């Protein structure tokens, strides 16, 4: 995902743009640039590479009070100096930064070339800049509006023009934009992280809207120029939450934040005495929810793994048929949505393109759509009918950790909320939420497993293939453990339902191959022990995640990392922690960039 920052006010713009872009670094990028504007012209500095490369090129004394900055994640054209944003039109007066993809850029490019425009870059963004330039007749807002009529695709854009040196025009379709409201200044960004140092008062730009921004005024309209009332909202995150606070990496910080994050997530939502769950975000449509005949959970990546835990929870507690679908598959396969189907979109960022598209498809087909989202005000949060926020705080590390446990906890709350209203007895609900309320404290103790997780990582870090096995509730955790390891340490890892191993993957097991077996106490314990024996007899090295007090597993496993006992259905909240730590230490030992793994961005806002 690319990052956008813009500033209009009375302070020097450059330090604000630089700081904002640095805060967006966690989203990953391969080039960056800024455009500073005054009545004498637009001055663009841009380069391929990491942010410090750009910083060295910038004139720290620039006094401009107006500018835009961008971090690019290449889609159209390689990450080169020329292809970096901002892009200007032929006149050099207009500069554009853009997140998203212009789908008809080929046709527009050909058309503009026929009109005599010669292009410098291979990007779709330059096409947009040239198109705006072509329509510019002294009113930037009009020119942008006119240009966007010819454009198909997705965009979050910020446009400046030296003829209107105190104006930024922004527009949004499929790519988030937020405007921070300060005293005599506005800060535009694609992510609240770039704004928090200056203000927590924000206006969210919705899809299909444009913003005309000056230091003292902000005007929102639809793309068709119909005025839109604006609402100033408070961002609940603080600056401290997006800083490292002494940790070496955000991923480690976020792993260790999980007990507090989960407490925030549960706060005010459970009533132990009454055995009930309160979820204000569901009340409005609770009758429809309770009558649901089928639940579909849709998500991508780690959120999909959390959704799979949700599937098991819903079937056990709500007793309603539930399926988990990859959002990317769901959106294109003509899904069957019957009357009474509820679709739950699970997403940390609330901006993942496939998940957004899946929920739109579900909505169009008449489903009641529920969001389980972390980022307040994000697209998915705004487009779902009802929802429950995670409240686990900002997640900066690309590898999702506290969002996973937050997602599982919220799905557990929703399952209990519905189960209790259908057939769960007060005693069963009380038992469930009592166990859930103990998880944060259990996590605090469990984090001491970090040293053992590091030892495991040290022992096997040179092995290039790992397997992760689990059954029942432990199966989604096996998938998540394997994903964590591969995405940050680049070690190949596969997660499997343990019994599937004998249908093929067992052929992979050779002497010393690390096989992480999640073998917690519960209904499938004896079964997983058999799988552990199968691995052992083929020479695999077993790293077991087992329940405290288990005195059998040590006889079979090479290493045992113990987790506290809880209900079987809540074990994923605990078993995932040693796996996050193993992945983290493996990545550090391999010298990988833990928080910004190669080829990955924090939110995937392209298909
Ligand atoms: O923001 P989302 O939860 O919608 O993101 C979905 C996935 O892209 C995300 O979980 C991804 O798999 C993580 N980086 C994995 O750690």
pLDDT in tens, 261-278: 999 999 999 999 888 999
Q: How confident is the model at residue 539 (pLDDT cuts 50, 70, 90)?
A: very high
Q: Token digits for 103? A: 């789908």
Q: What pLDDT score does 332 carry?
A: 86
Q: Token digits for 578? A: 């040693």
Strand partners, 345: 298, 371
Q: What pLDDT score does 61 carry?
A: 87
H helix or E strand, kind and range, residue 518: strand 514-519
Measured CA to CA, the distance from residue 94 to residue 112 in angstroms comes to: 16
Q: What is the mean pLDDT of residues 547-576?
A: 97
Q: What pLDDT score does 435 carry?
A: 98
219-259 pLDDT, tens per residue? 999 999 999 999 999 998 888 888 898 999 999 999 999 99
Q: What pLDDT score does 24 carry?
A: 87
- Is the C-alpha dihedral spanning 119, 125, 131, 135 positive or negative? negative
- Minimal-distance CA residue to ligand 1 atom 4: 347
Q: Which residue has the tokens 């077991």?
A: 544
Report the alpha-carbon angle 225-227-231, nearest 5: 140
CA of 404 to the centre of ligand 1 (A): 9
24-68 pLDDT, tens per residue? 877 767 889 999 999 999 999 999 988 888 999 998 888 899 999
What is the best residue among 306, 348, 481 to mutate for testing ligand 1's pocket, by most ligand atoms within 8 Å of CB? Answer: 348
413-450 pLDDT, tens per residue? 999 999 999 989 999 999 999 999 999 999 999 999 99
Q: What is the mean pLDDT of residues 309-327?
A: 97
CA of 225 to the centre of ligand 1 (A): 35
**Structural contact between residues 439 and 566, judged by C-beta atoms closer than 8 angstroms:** yes
- Please report, in angstroms and rounded to a whole number, the separation of the first and last CA atoms in the chain: 11
* Mean pLDDT score across all residues of the chain: 94
Q: How confident is the model at residue 489 (pLDDT cuts 50, 70, 90)?
A: very high
Q: For the domain 448-589, what is the CATH code?
A: 3.40.50.10490
- Minimal-distance CA residue to ligand 1 atom 12: 301
Residue limits of CATH 3.40.50.10490 in the chain:
250-424, 448-589
Q: Which residue has the higher pLDDT, 457 or 22?
A: 457
Q: Is 592 a catalytic residue?
A: no
Q: What pLDDT score does 568 carry?
A: 98
Q: Which of 46, 134, 402, 602 is catalytic?
A: 602
Q: What pLDDT score does 488 carry?
A: 96
Number of Cβ within 10 Å of residue 445's Cβ equals 13
Q: Which residues of 534-558 are buried (b: 16+ CB within 10 A; e: fewer)?
A: bbbeeebbbbbbbbeebeebeebbb
What is the best residue among 328, 373, 604 to mutate for testing ligand 1's pocket, by most ligand atoms within 8 Å of CB? Answer: 604
Report the share of the chain in percent with pLDDT over 90: 87
Q: What is the mean pLDDT of residues 60-83?
A: 87
What is the best residue among 297, 303, 392 to mutate for testing ligand 1's pocket, by most ligand atoms within 8 Å of CB? Answer: 303
CA of 601 to the centre of ligand 1 (A): 9
Q: What pLDDT score does 596 carry?
A: 87
Q: Which of 2, 161, 300, 517 is catalytic?
A: 2
CA of 401 to the centre of ligand 1 (A): 10
CA of 391 to the centre of ligand 1 (A): 16
Domain 3-235: what homologous superfamily? Answer: Aminohydrolase, N-terminal nucleophile (Ntn) domain (3.60.20.10)
Q: Is 251 exposed, middle or buried (0-12, 13-18, 19+ CB in 10 A)?
A: buried
Q: How far is CA 206 from CA 124, 131, 148, 178, 377, in A?
A: 22, 23, 16, 9, 10
What is the best residue among 302, 325, 402, 408 to mutate for testing ligand 1's pocket, by most ligand atoms within 8 Å of CB? Answer: 302
Under DSSP, the state recorded for 193 is G
Q: What pLDDT score does 28 carry?
A: 62
Q: What pLDDT score does 239 carry?
A: 85
Q: Which residue has the tokens 């976020």?
A: 254
Q: What pLDDT score does 464 carry?
A: 95
357-382 pLDDT, tens per residue? 999 999 999 999 999 999 998 999 99
- Whether the link from the prior residue into 86 is cis, omega within 30° of 0, is yes
Q: What pLDDT score does 602 carry?
A: 76
184-225 pLDDT, tens per residue? 999 999 999 999 999 999 999 999 999 999 999 999 999 999
Q: Is 416 a catalytic residue?
A: no
Q: How confident is the model at residue 569 (pLDDT cuts 50, 70, 90)?
A: very high
Q: Is 388 exposed, middle or buried (0-12, 13-18, 19+ CB in 10 A)?
A: buried
- Minimal-distance CA residue to ligand 1 atom 8: 301
Ligand 1 atom with minimal separation from the 352 CA? 4
Q: What is the mean pLDDT of residues 536-559?
A: 96
Ligand 1 atom with minimal separation from the 355 CA? 4
Ligand 1 atom with minimal separation from the 398 CA? 14
Q: For the domain 250-424, what is the CATH code?
A: 3.40.50.10490
CA of 411 to the centre of ligand 1 (A): 16
H helix or E strand, kind and range, residue 108: helix 105-114
pLDDT at position 606 over 80? no
- Is the C-alpha dihedral spanning 300, 301, 302, 305 positive or negative? positive
Closest-CA residue to 33 (of 77, 83, 75): 83
Q: What is the mean pLDDT of residues 562-567?
A: 98
CA of 603 to the centre of ligand 1 (A): 7
* Alpha-carbon 305 to chain mean position: 14
Strand partners, 515: 467, 542
Q: What pLDDT score does 148 carry?
A: 97
Q: What pLDDT score does 203 carry?
A: 96
| Pocket lining for ligand 1, CB < 6 angstroms | 300-303, 347-349, 352, 355, 398-400, 483, 487, 603-604
Q: What pLDDT score does 601 carry?
A: 76
Measured CA to CA, the distance from residue 184 to residue 9 in angstroms comes to: 6
Report the share of the chain in percent with pLDDT over 70: 100
84-109 pLDDT, tens per residue? 999 999 999 999 999 988 999 999 99
Torsion of CA 466, 471, 472, 478, to 10 degrees: -10
CA of 328 to the centre of ligand 1 (A): 13
């Amino acid at each position: 995902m690319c990052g956008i920052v813009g500033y209009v006010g009375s302070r020097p713009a450059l330090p604000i743009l630089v700081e904002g872009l640095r805060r967006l670094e966690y989203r990953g990028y391969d080039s960056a640039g800024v455009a500073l504007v005054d009545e004498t012209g637009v001055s663009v500095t841009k380069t391929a590479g990491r942010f410090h490369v750009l910083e060295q090129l910038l004139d720290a004394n620039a006094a401009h009070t107006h500018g835009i900055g961008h971090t690019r994640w290449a889609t159209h054209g390689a990450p080169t100096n020329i292809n970096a944003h901002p892009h200007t039109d032929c006149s050099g007066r207009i500069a554009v930064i853009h997140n998203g993809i212009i789908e008809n850029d080929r046709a527009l490019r050909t058309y503009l070339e026929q009109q005599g425009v010669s292009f410098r870059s291979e990007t779709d963004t330059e096409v947009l800049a040239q198109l705006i330039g072509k329509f510019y007749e002294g009113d930037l807002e009009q020119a942008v509006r006119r240009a966007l009529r010819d454009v198909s695709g997705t965009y979050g854009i910020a446009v400046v023009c030296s003829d209107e040196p105190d104006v930024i025009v922004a527009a949004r379709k499929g790519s988030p934009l937020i405007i921070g409201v300060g005293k005599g200044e506005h800060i535009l960004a694609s992510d609240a992280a770039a704004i928090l140092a200056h203000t927590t008062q924000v206006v969210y730009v919705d899809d299909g809207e444009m913003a005309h921004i000056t230091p003292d005024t902000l005007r929102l309209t639809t793309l068709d120029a119909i005025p839109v009332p604006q609402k100033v909202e408070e961002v609940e995150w603080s600056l401290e939450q997006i800083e490292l606070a002494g940790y070496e990496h955000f991923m480690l910080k976020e792993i260790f934040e999980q007990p507090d994050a989960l407490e925030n997530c549960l706060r005010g939502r459970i009533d132990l005495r009454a055995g009930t769950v309160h979820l204000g975000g569901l009340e409005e449509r609770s009758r429809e929810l309770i009558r649901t005949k089928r639940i579909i959970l849709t998500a991508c990546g780690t959120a999909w793994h959390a959704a799979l835990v949700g599937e098991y929870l819903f079937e056990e507690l709500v007793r309603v048929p539930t399926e988990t679908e990859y959002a990317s598959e769901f959106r294109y396969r003509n899904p069957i949505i019957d009357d009474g189907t509820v679709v739950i979109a699970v997403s940390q960022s609330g901006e993942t393109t496939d998940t957004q598209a899946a929920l739109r498809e579900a909505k169009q087909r008449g489903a009641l759509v529920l969001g389980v989202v972390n980022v307040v005000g994000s697209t998915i949060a705004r487009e779902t009918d009802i929802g429950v926020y995670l409240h686990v705080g900002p997640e900066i590390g690309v590898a999702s950790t506290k969002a996973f446990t937050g997602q599982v906890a919220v799905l557990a709350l929703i399952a209990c909320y519905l189960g209790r209203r259908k057939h769960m007895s007060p005693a069963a609900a009380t038992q469930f939420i009592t166990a859930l309320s103990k998880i944060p404290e259990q996590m605090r103790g469990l984090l001491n497993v970090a040293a053992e997780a590091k030892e495991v990582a040290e022992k096997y870090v040179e092995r290039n293939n790992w397997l992760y096995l689990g059954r029942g509730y432990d199966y989604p955790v096996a998938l998540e453990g394997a994903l964590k390891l591969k995405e940050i340490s680049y070690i190949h890892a596969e997660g499997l339902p343990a019994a599937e191993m004998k249908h093929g993957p067992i052929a992979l097991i050779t002497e010393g191959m690390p096989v992480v077996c999640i073998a917690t106490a519960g209904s499938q314990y004896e079964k997983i022990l058999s799988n552990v024996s199968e691995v052992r007899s083929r020479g695999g090295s077993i790293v077991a995640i087992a329940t405290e007090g288990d005195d059998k597993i040590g006889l079979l496993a090479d290493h045992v990392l113990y987790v506290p006992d809880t209900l079987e259905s809540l074990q994923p909240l605990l078993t995932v922690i040693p796996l996050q730590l193993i992945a983290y230490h493996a990545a550090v030992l391999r010298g990988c960039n833990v928080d910004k793994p190669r080829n990955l961005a924090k939110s995937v806002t392209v298909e």
